[in-house]
Amino acid sequence: MKPVRIKKGSGPVILAMPHTGTYIPANIKTKLNANGRKLTDTDWHVNRLYRGLLPSATVIRANFHRYVIDANRDPSGKSLYPGQNTTDLCPTTDFDGQNIYKKGRTPNAREIERRRIEYHMPYHQAIKTEIAHLLQKHNRVVLYDCHSIRSYVPYLFDGILPDFNIGTNNGKSCSAHFENTAKNVCAQSPGYTSVCNGRFKGGWTTRHYSKPLKGVHAIQMELAQSTYMAEVSPWQYLPSTARKTRRVIRRLLKSLEHAALN
């Protein structure tokens, strides 16, 4: 299986999806314990949730699961959130802090490097290539990083997560205009809660590619999964709930596209 799937668009928005893939090669799957094989920390149905909302957008999806390697982590292994609970470049625990590998089967440095080259690198090469391509057509490009997570994960954060969690690396990854556009759309959506640069400030993708002064504006959106699905196995997509959330996301993406074109 190819590590990345690309749907090219002509507009200035790129939708990056690093955690929707569920593929785990057999030689890695055999090392996972029963907990790891549940794939609990998948960004379930995110590709379905965003499908068709902005037809002009380029979509870049990682096909591999985050337990193979996390495409939104610094390839050096450096923590994005020093001092806070998080998961590694090649995770060995889940979002509840529980082991996902059988005893003695966690990846060593050589294995991590192999996964970086085979999976992490092609995904990011695709992002780099598409940004460069779109900058030839547009003065501004928006890299919108699509994520979701259970709304209650005590190991990672206190209490209930807001519905829309906007991350701009504390305002560094995009201009104030783009940040305010995202904040305003979410804040003006009745029935939803939102925060900017709360627990999730933007992962490696947001921080690495953003160059606002050169026309590349990056925003991470971490959605509470309760806004569109059931947060317990078998992780059912809830069409009626998702429909309302899709309306908000559509407004948001169209607003960001408009900001990039004007």
Domain 4-261 class, CATH top level: alpha beta
Average pLDDT over the chain reads 97
Kindly state the average pLDDT of the residues 148-164: 97
Q: Residue 1: what pLDDT?
A: 85
Kindly state the average pLDDT of the residues 221-236: 98
Considering the entire predicted model, what is its pTM? 0.96
Q: Tell whether the model's pLDDT for residue 78 goes beyond 90.
A: no
- pLDDT category, 155, cuts 50, 70, 90? very high
Kindly state the average pLDDT of the residues 11-25: 98
Kindly state the average pLDDT of the residues 8-19: 98
Q: Residue 81: what pLDDT?
A: 79
Domain locations in the chain? 4-261
Q: N- to C-terminal Cα distance for the chain? A: 39
Would you tell me the crossing angle of helices 176-187 and 239-261 to the nearest 10 degrees?
150
Percent of the chain with pLDDT over 70: 100
CB atoms within 10 A of CB 203: 25
Q: Tell whether the model's pLDDT for residue 98 goes beyond 80.
A: yes
- pLDDT category, 238, cuts 50, 70, 90? very high
- pLDDT category, 175, cuts 50, 70, 90? very high
Q: Tell whether the model's pLDDT for residue 79 goes beyond 80.
A: no
Q: Residue 84: what pLDDT?
A: 82
> Phi-psi bin for 77: left (phi > 0), alpha (psi -120 to 50), beta?
left
Q: Tell whether the model's pLDDT for residue 167 goes beyond 80.
A: yes
Alpha-carbon distance of 225 to 228, in angstroms, equals 6
In 143-154, which positions are buried (b, 16+ CB within 10 angstroms) versus exposed (e)?
Answer: bbbbbbbbbebe
Alpha-carbon distance of 52 to 253, in angstroms, equals 11
Q: Residue 82: what pLDDT?
A: 77
Kindly state the average pLDDT of the residues 112-138: 98
Q: Which residue has the tokens 């078998």?
A: 234
Q: Tell whether the model's pLDDT for residue 85 goes beyond 80.
A: no
Tokens standing for residue 240? 């009626």
Q: Residue 216: what pLDDT?
A: 98
Q: How far is CA 63 from the centre of its chain?
A: 13
